[in-house]
Amino acid sequence: MKKIIISTLVMSAVLYGTAFAESSLRTIDAMFSQINLTMNGQKANMQGDVMFYEGSIYVPLRSLSEALGAEVSWNGQTQTVDVDFTSDRTRDIYQASQKAMYQYLILQNNSITAEFIAAFKSDNEARLVTNNKRYGELRDIAKQLGDEPTAVLFDKMMASMQIVISGWGSKQTSDYKLGWALYNDYAKSLNTALAAKVSDLSADEKK
């Protein structure tokens, strides 16, 4: 595909409700409406107003172009809008997939916490042991992402919770309290690390 260069004349007509005629500006009456736009049967979310004028529908250029997979930029020197369908967006895909992976880790970590609460309330030690092993699965995912610090934290969460379960089951309060102290510290560090990862990846998406 080729790049599409759209002049400011078109941009002004679409974005600001004005039209050019014989190199002069004129005021027009246009109707702004909540018009639903679908692309290949899927609803497209338009950021900005949709304008209906003289039988034609004008939609926000940036929203429409980005929905079609293009990058839109403004060239101040040439006073043109640059719509680029040929740019390499593999980095964007990578960033989005990385963010999704860390969001998955957060959701699964929260799920493990909820399961621990239910297992302790039901006095089910076997359920606690089974649930604790799930940390190993999240550790392996973190390793595959190349995030060794997060993988280590998941490992420490599993080890400290095993001390908790052992002390709780045998009623050895010294082990029980030690396990909880370690688990609490590791949990805080893990939650902070995961939140920071998602925040950093979100910031990269906006660049």
Cβ contact 50:57 at 8 Å: yes
Size (the chain), residues: 207
Tokens, residue 80: 């043109």
The residue among 85 and 126 whose pLDDT is bigger is: 126
Query: Could you give the C-alpha distances from 49 to 10, 73, 119, in angstroms and in order?
Result: 16, 19, 52
- Kind of pairing, strands 42-44 and 37-39? antiparallel
- Residue 112: exposure state from Cβ atoms within 10 A (0-12, 13-18, ≥19): buried
pLDDT in tens, 15-61: 444 444 444 566 766 666 666 677 667 776 767 667 777 777 777 77
Q: pLDDT tens, 35-46?
A: 667 766 777 676
pLDDT of residue 175: 94
pLDDT at 166 over 90: yes
pLDDT in the model for residue 139: 98
Q: Residue 183's CB: how many other CB atoms inside 10 A?
A: 20
160 — pLDDT class (breaks 50, 70, 90): very high
Q: What is the mean pLDDT of the chain?
A: 81
CA distance 45 to 67: 8
